[in-house]
Every structure is written in C-alpha cells, then in structure tokens.
Structure 1
Amino acid sequence: MEDIFARMAAGKIIQKEDRGYDEFGKVVAETIQRCVEMNANTTGIDDVRKTLSEIIGSPIDELTTVFPPFYTNFGWFIKLGKNVFINQACSMLDIGGIVIEDDVQIGPRVNITSENHPLDPVNRIALVLKPVTIKRNTWIGAGATILPGVTVGENSVVAAGAVVSRDVLPTLWLRAFQRRWSKKFKCLAMRDCSMDCSPVLACASEFSIHAAVFSITQ
C-alpha cells in the first residue's frame, strides 16, 4: 500500500481514516510551528531563505526573496524557481502541490491553495488535492486568490483581488470582477460562459468565477 505522502503526491483523495494520517498531521503541526518561529525571529532575508529552504526540503535560489510573514501548512510540495519575489503575508497551502517558476512576482496577501473538500456534506472532511502551477514571469497582484488545479500561463498578470478558478492562458491579464464597459479589451471567457454579460467587463459561471480574462494584445 502506498504511504500517505505518496498518495498526496499522486493527487489522490485523502481521508482522516487513511493509514499514516497521524504522521501527516505531525508534519503539518511542525511546519506551522516553524513558520510561526520564522516569522517572529528572523532578522533578514537570508534567514528567511535558509529557514524556508529547510521547511520545503530544497534549497531556495539566492536571488529569490520572500518577505515575512509567510505561511504554509505543509511545505514539502512547494517548488520555488529562481529570481522569485514573494511579498508580505502570502499563504501557500501546498498539500496538493504548488510550483512557482522562475521570475515570478507575487504581491502581498496572495493566497494560493492546492487543497479542496468534496461538496457532499457526508464526506466533506476529506481532502481533494489539485496542483497549482504559476508559470515563468507571471505577476500575481496583491490580495489575489489562486484556487486548486489552476495553471497561470507564462507572462500573465493576475490583478489585485482576483479570484482565479480556471487556467489563465499565457500573456493574458486577469482582471478583478467589476461591471464597467471597456472597448479596449476583448473577453476571452465567452466561448464557455453561459452568462449574458458581453457588454460588461466581467464573466461568471455556475461556480462563481469572480474575474474576467482579457487579452493584453488587443
């Protein structure tokens, strides 16, 4: 039988009754405690880099900068590229896996989660895991939320406050939801959107996507 960490890496549903769940819980508790200590006691960026390297289990590039406080609940499945910048108060829930490629900029209070729960109330305590990938040279604006399973394409921009629940194609600008007409941008979500909102700067689906995607090349 696969151990629980191998099952997590494979993206399988995790139940509290699973063999090894207690061991997983100990890792979570230790990681959270180490983040608390890092955020309270580090005196410089080099200290943060050193401690965070220990938390995620791999060395962080010397050109990558993480401003504390920084929060993660697991750490083992975070992969940070070269020359990454992460501003203050960011949170990465990485049990499903989070990959941040080279030259990515992440604004303050950004939340990235690779973890979800079933909608069925009977089984809602289970963990549903889907990896998140932020491709090279992406800029994630302050307060944005990236939800499980999302890939943000290379050179894209996610505006401050956006909630991203679908993939963002390369070289796109994801703008936070607001009802304002603009002729400059063409909505790219209309091909699979059931909402009658073509004259407004917004799109939505039955799962409440609170953002709109527009080509920055229009």
Structure 2
Amino acid sequence: MIEYKREKSDFDKINKTVEHTNKLISKLNFGYHDNESILKILSEVMGYEIDSSNEINLPFNSDFGPNIKLGKNIFINRNCMFVDLGGVTLEDGVLIGPDVKLISVNHPLESARRHNVVVDPVLIKENAWIGANAIVLPGVTVGKNSVIGAGSVVTRDVPANSVAVGNPAKVIKKI
C-alpha cells in the first residue's frame, strides 16, 4: 500500500498521465470502433500491446490507464470502470460483466490526510468471472476460477474455486 500526498510534486506526473488517458478514452468511447481498433487505442493507454485474443466492449473507462495489465482471452463487457493508479491485473481467461468497477484507490480515514490517496492493487486471477455491477475494492485478489455474483461488493480476498456474493461479498460455496 502506497500513499500519495495531495502535493504538487506527487500529482504532477499523475495529472499528465490522466490528461493523456482522458483524451484517448474520449476518442475510444465516442464513435464506432471494431475490436482491433479498441485494442489499439487501449494499447496506447496502457503502454503495451494488448493481446488480440481479448475482447472489450465499449464504453470502457479508466481514470489512469498505464497500471492496467491484461493477460489473454479476456472478455470485458460494457460500461466498466478501472480505477488503476494502484494497479489492476486481469490474468488469462478472466470474464468481466457489464458495469463492473475495479478500484485500486482509496483515501485515508484520518480527516487531515483525507485528500491524499492510498493505492493497493486489485488482482483477478486466471479464469475468474466478475458478475454484472460488482465492485472489487483496493487490495483484493479474486482467486483462480472464482465467481463473484452480480451486484456484490468485494472487500477482501476470495479464494480459488469459490463463489462469493453479497455486500460485503462472502464465499457461499466451492466450485
């Protein structure tokens, strides 16, 4: 976990990246793009070539961009938000339902520091499925082959081969 202070030196580089990402995301989400051009624009956002086996439906949103890491054979449905300053990683075969939010940024509870940001990565392991409108919070790992039920809020790690649902999400069975 890293804390960025709300000071010019900490946020100058971040703000330049955000501005660059916002321009590309706007270009991406307004107008028609086939999957090849979607992956090309997102490769520029993320700073590496995204594998052509991935499929991403628009609109797609990110508030930072370069800290998203995508494996292969990933499907991301419409209207997802990746808050990735702290890092968001999707391993091979991950399925992301519509309206999912993957959030790697938080704020300190102490009011004097609340304008700072605390970052903690989100990791979605191989073949996991995040259901529609689920929210995965900072520092969470969703285990290999696990399923997160629609509308769930994931506040802690989910072990491999599990189904977790609710707010906060709880494991209800093993797969």
- The alignment's TM-score, normalised by the length of structure 1, stands at 0.77
Q: What does the per-residue CA deviation read over 1:1-50, in whole Å, with 9 as the maximum and x for residues that have no partner?
A: xxxxxxxxxx4210121525223212112212211111103421111111
Q: Which runs of 4+ in 1 moved over 3 A?
A: none
Structure 2 residue matching 1:34: 3-state secondary structure: helix
Quote the Cα distance in structure 1 between the aligned partners of 2:68 and 2:40.
15
In the alignment, which residue of structure 2 is the partner of 1:5?
none
Q: Secondary structure at the match of 1:82?
A: coil
The equivalent of 1:207 in structure 2 is none
Deviations along 1:137-176, whole A, 9 cap, x unmatched?
0010000000000000000000000000100000000122
* 1:116 correspondence with 2:96: no
Higher strand share goes to which structure? 2
| Matching residue of 2:40 | 50
Q: Which runs of 5+ in 1 are unaligned?
A: 1-10, 178-209
Q: Answer yes or no: is the 8 Å Cα contact 1:104–1:139 preserved in 2.
A: yes
In 2: Cα distance, 1:21 partner to 1:155 partner: 37
Give the equivalent residue in structure 2 for 1:144.
Answer: 134
Aligned counterpart in structure 2 of residue 64 of structure 1, from 54, 59, 62: 54
Question: In 2, are the aligned partners of 1:42 and 1:48 still within 8 Å (CA)?
Answer: no
Q: For the pair shown, which has the larger CA radius of gyration, 1 or 2? A: 1
Aligned to 2:28: 38
- Kept in 2, the 8 Å contact 1:82–1:103? The answer is yes
1:1-218, aligned counterparts within 5 Å?
11-17=1-7, 19-177=9-167, 210-217=168-175
- Which amino acid is 2:127 matched to? N
Gaps of 5+ in 2: none
Matched letter for residue 11 of structure 2: Y
TM-score by length of 2: 0.96
Given that 2:63 and 2:84 are in contact with CA atoms closer than 8 Å, whether structure 1 keeps it comes out as: yes
2:2 and 2:174 mapped to 1: Cα distance?
A: 37
Which protein, 1 or 2, shows the higher relative CO under an 8 Å CA cutoff with sep ≥ 6?
2
Corresponding residue for residue 194 of structure 1: none
**Cα separation, 2, equivalents of 1:42 and 1:15:** 39
Distance 1:29 1:215 in 2: 43
- The number of aligned residues is 175
Q: Please state how far the C-alpha of 1:79 moved relative to its aligned partner.
A: 0.3
Please give the secondary structure, in 1, of the residue aligned with 2:3.
Answer: coil
Aligned equivalents of 2:10, 2:140: Cα separation in 1: 28
